[in-house]
Amino acid sequence: MKKLIALIMVCAMSLAVFACGKKTPATESSKDTKAAQTDDKNGGETTKAPAADALVLLPGKLVIVNEGDNGPVIKGVTVAGNRCGTAEFNSKAPASDGVRCVFELNEYLDFYLDTNETAGLKVFAYKHAEDANIYVDRTNGEDGAAGFCDLNKPEDAADSWGSFYVNPEDWQPGYYDLVFTKDGKAVALMQIKYFNDGEIQGKSDEELTALMKSF
């Protein structure tokens, strides 16, 4: 009887040792999962998660990154399009949140600003960056931009400060960052999304608003 009990104990210990040898440490698995994530914003590519100190842009929310002597250079914006949404949807007063942020490739974007500046301003559209800190001190301007334009105060307050479009022959739909600059220095940032040419035409203002809140 004693021999039988001893034999059972030996078998149990052997199985335990074998199981431990096959086990993957939970900490390593957790690190791998966090380090490699599927990023839908970049076409499903596997990318690392943003660092803890990353500047993450939100859709339709203006982020001030550099202020002037009297506070924010740009306090609010209106970004209007010429293909989607009603005139009312595209003519909301400049704001720092809830700004229109869904567009189609090939759609002209018109900009209206709440600012005390009259000239020296520009806006660029770049492919979305997980950490927007890369824009804070950049000076390359047009290099790598999908679209850009000068922003000058119009004589008629109803006119836009400037406009541009992104050519669907050269750029893909997806997430982009708007970078507003003053004398070559970034002063405000905002994330937007481009859809394929014709993809969101005909949608109601309510549907467009829902799209703005869904990414």
For residue range 18-75, list pLDDT tens digits in order: 454 544 444 444 444 444 444 555 554 445 566 778 999 999 999 999 888 889 999 9
Q: 6 and 67 share a domain?
A: no
Q: 31 and 72 share a domain?
A: no
Q: 122 and 157 share a domain?
A: yes
How many Cα atoms occupy the beta-carbon half-sphere of 88 within 13 Å? 4
Residue 191 lies in a domain: yes
Q: 34 and 105 share a domain?
A: no
Residue 51 lies in a domain: no
Amino acid at 178: L
Q: 95 and 153 share a domain?
A: yes
Measured from the Cβ of residue 211, the count of other Cβ atoms closer than 10 Å reads: 17
Q: What does the pLDDT look like over 167-201, one tens digit per residue?
A: 999 999 999 999 999 999 999 999 999 999 999 99
CATH code of residue 165: 2.60.40.10
Residue 48 lies in a domain: no
Q: 13 and 75 share a domain?
A: no
Residue 43 lies in a domain: no
Q: 182 and 84 share a domain?
A: yes
Q: What is the mean pLDDT of the chain?
A: 83
Question: CA–CA separation, 75 vs 73, rounded Å?
Answer: 6
pLDDT of residue 41: 52
Question: CA–CA separation, 103 vs 74, rounded Å?
Answer: 22
- What pTM value is reported for the model? 0.77
Residue 53 lies in a domain: no
Q: 139 and 189 share a domain?
A: yes
Residue 205 lies in a domain: yes
Amino acid at 157: A
Helix (H) or strand (E) holding 6: helix 2-22
Q: 76 and 142 share a domain?
A: yes
Residue 127 lies in a domain: yes
Mean pLDDT of 153-170: 96
Terminal Cα distance for the chain, rounded: 68
- Give whole-number Cα distances, 213 to 12, 97, 100, 193, 198, in Å: 56, 11, 10, 11, 20
pLDDT of residue 10: 47
Residue 57 lies in a domain: no
Q: Which residues pair with 177 in a beta bridge?
A: 126, 191
Containing domain of residue 129, as a range?
A: 63-212
Number of domains in the chain: 2
Which has the closest alpha carbon to 123: 141, 96, 99, 135? 141
Question: CA–CA separation, 83 vs 108, rounded Å?
Answer: 8
Token pair, residue 88, equals: 């009312």
Question: CA–CA separation, 9 vs 15, rounded Å?
Answer: 10
Mean pLDDT lowest for which of 140-149, 156-165, 173-182?
A: 140-149
